Amino acid sequence: MNIYDNINFQGALFDMDGLVLDTEKIYHRELKKAGKFFGYEISDEIICGAMGLCGKASSDYFYSIFGYDFPFDKIHNKKTQLLDKYFDKNPPKIKTGFKRLISYLKRNDKKTALATSTKRETAKRYLQQAGIFNAFDEIVCGDEINNSKPNPEIFITAAKKINIDIKDCIIFEDSFNGIRAAAAAGGKPIMVPDTINPTEEIKSLCFRIQKTLWTL
């Protein structure tokens, strides 16, 4: 028996970076490099606040800190170039416990969906490089929704795609904005911390906090 046997759920929704793929630390490193290339120091604290954001929410966040002269698109594109160069030589690693968990979910007829703020083109490439592109029943990406996390839209959309009521879904996340979105959606948020530990606010929103995706 494992911890999931005691949870009443029919579907499982997953974030990608820092949760399924061990990419978050690399993202942070390359974002800092890209910022420095254009003369900006981007701290860990700032990056923490940006985790889970996509599209306009992401650019607005950085403008609120650095002002509207901040070259968001140029830095974003530079970061993407650095990441692509790195992952072409070093395929993204799969986080501990993911394969055992996804196998368990399939054996028990639980539906699964990936709900990532990353653009589909990029997400597909990284999942293919890691060899798990076909692991999920459905995939929803940041460029396919109107509202970024912490808005719950991406999780509500993912639940609809697998035809499971969001209340019957466990939602795995590693970011604060992701947990806020999962809670607002009405699912059961499970935080698996990667680069940041939960605050009291985040703890209060979580159904459970665990060290890895698979825990006996």
- How many angstroms separate the Cα of 10 from the Cα of each of 1, 111, 127, 216? 17, 7, 24, 19
Q: What is the pLDDT of residues 35-73, one digit of tens each?
A: 999 999 999 999 999 999 999 999 999 999 999 999 999
How far apart, in whole angstroms, are the C-alpha atoms of residue 72 and residue 88?
Answer: 24
Give residue 216's pLDDT band: very low, low, confident or very high (50, 70, 90).
low
- State the pTM of this model: 0.95
CB under 8 Å, gap of 24 or more: what pairs does 101-104 form?
101/4, 101/12, 101/213, 101/214, 102/132, 102/135, 104/2, 104/4, 104/214
10 Å CB burial of residue 156 (0-12, 13-18, 19+) is buried
What's the CATH number of domain 3-22+93-209, 3.40.50.10880, 3.40.50.10310, 3.40.50.1000, 3.30.450.20?
3.40.50.1000
The pLDDT tens digits for 95-117 are 999 999 999 999 999 999 999 99
Torsion angle defined by CA atoms of residues 47, 52, 58 and 64, in that order, rounded to the nearest 10 degrees: -50
